[in-house]
Amino acid sequence: MPELAELLREHRRRLLAAGLARPDGFVFASRTGGPLQRRNVVRRGLDKAAKRAGLATGDTPHLRFHDLRHTYASLLIAQGLNVVFVSRQLGHATPAITLAVYAHLFDHAQHAQAARNALQTGFGAILVKSKSSNHGNAQETDGIPNQAQAGDSHHISEPREQIGSAVTR
């Protein structure tokens, strides 16, 4: 993520300019340039961020940094990334560790992709055929009104995107 890398570089430049960091030090450091203490980071950073985001209510469990790690892994898997890549991102010694923890998510992602492919195969041709027979005009196809206006082709791809996202939930 180039945007994140740039934000981190800018943060580091500001700290260096203010004399609050060393060139060979941490990106996020204590006032003395050393590592941040976990308890302070949780209390001053994570807890406040969770509260601002509405995640720190009496009805929800306390958010931990490890929860963020699981969320990151789950998002990578939902995007269809392979187990070796996810394993490396998490710092696991082997992909077997990643599979032991996240096998159910890989299985879900694989079935979701198979469902999207099956829907695309079964219905994608119908959508394309419907568009080409309408020539961009608002007409009816098999008794169903076509909502796309002339030159407005994005309406044809929306059902496929919506179908794909609905299947993965």
More confident position, 107 or 74: 74
151 lies in a domain? yes
9 lies in a domain? no
Structural domain count of the chain: 1
pTM of the model: 0.55
144 lies in a domain? yes
Helix (H), strand (E), coil (C) string for the chain: CHHHHHHHHHHHHHHHHCCCCCCCCCCCECCCCCECCHHHHHHHHHHHHHHHCCCCCCCCCCCCHHHHHHHHHHHHHHCCCCHHHHHHHHCCCCHHHHHHHHHHHHHHHHHHHHHHHHHHHHHHHHHHHHHHHHCCCCCEECCEECCCCCCCCHHHHHHHHHHHHHHHC
pLDDT in tens, 12-54: 899 889 888 888 888 888 877 788 898 989 988 899 999 898 8
90 lies in a domain? yes
Percent of the chain whose pLDDT exceeds 90? 30
Domain interval for residue 118: 79-169
